Amino acid sequence: MDDRRPEGEEGPNVGEEGLGEADQTLADNEQTLGERDQTVSDRDQQASEDDQAASDWDVDHGGDPTAHAGSTAARAQASREREETSALRDRTAHERDISAQRRDELSMLRDQIAQERDRDATTTDAKDELTDGHTLRPEDLLERARASRIRAANDRERAARDREQAARDREQAQLDREQAAYDRERAGTDELTGARRRGVGLEELENEMRRARREGNSLVAAYVDVDGLKSVNDRQGHAAGDELLRTVAEMLRRHMRSYDLLVRLGGDEFLCVVPNITAAEGRRRFDDLRSELSDAKGSISVGFSELLGADSPGEFIKRADSDLLASRKR
DSSP 210-228: HHHHHHT--EEEEEEEETT
What is the phi-psi region of residue 195: left when phi exceeds 0, alpha when psi lies from -120 to 50, beta otherwise?
A: beta
Q: What is the dihedral of CA 15, 17, 20, 22, to 10 degrees?
A: -30
Say how many C-beta atoms besides its own lie within 10 A of residue 178's C-beta: 12
What is the phi-psi region of residue 71: left when phi exceeds 0, alpha when psi lies from -120 to 50, beta otherwise?
A: alpha
- What is the dotted CATH code of the domain comprising 198-329? 3.30.70.270
| Residues 115, 118: Cα–Cα separation, whole Å | 5
* Cβ pair 177, 82 in contact under 8 A: yes
| Element containing residue 135 per DSSP (H, E) | strand 134-135
Per-residue confidence (pLDDT) for residue 324, from 0 to 100: 93
Provide the residue-wise pLDDT of the chain in tens; the chain has 330 residues.
Answer: 344 433 333 344 445 566 777 777 777 777 887 787 787 777 777 777 776 666 665 544 444 545 555 666 676 677 777 778 888 888 888 888 888 888 888 888 888 888 888 887 777 454 444 445 556 677 887 888 888 888 888 888 988 888 898 898 889 888 888 877 777 666 778 878 888 888 888 989 999 999 999 999 999 999 999 988 888 888 999 889 899 999 999 989 888 888 899 999 988 999 999 999 988 888 888 888 887 777 666 788 999 999 998 899 999 999 999 999 998 876
CB-side neighbour CA atoms (13 Å) of 40: 21
Q: List 264's β-bridge partners, or say none.
A: 270
Closest of 192, 249, 194, 256 to residue 221, by C-alpha? 256
For 262-326, the DSSP string reads EEE-SSSEEEEEEES--HHHHHHHHHHHHHHHHHTT--EEEEEEE--TT--HHHHHHHHHHHHHH
| Residues 324, 327: Cα–Cα separation, whole Å | 5
Per-residue confidence (pLDDT) for residue 12, from 0 to 100: 42
User: If DSSP codes are grouped into helix, strand and coil, which group holds residue 134?
Assistant: strand
Tell me the backbone φ, ψ of residue 303, rounded to 5 degrees.
-125, 155
Closest of 110, 209, 208, 104 to residue 163, by C-alpha? 104
| Residues 162, 169: Cα–Cα separation, whole Å | 10
| Residues 181, 259: Cα–Cα separation, whole Å | 18
Domain boundaries, the chain: 16-187, 198-329
Per-residue confidence (pLDDT) for residue 7, from 0 to 100: 39
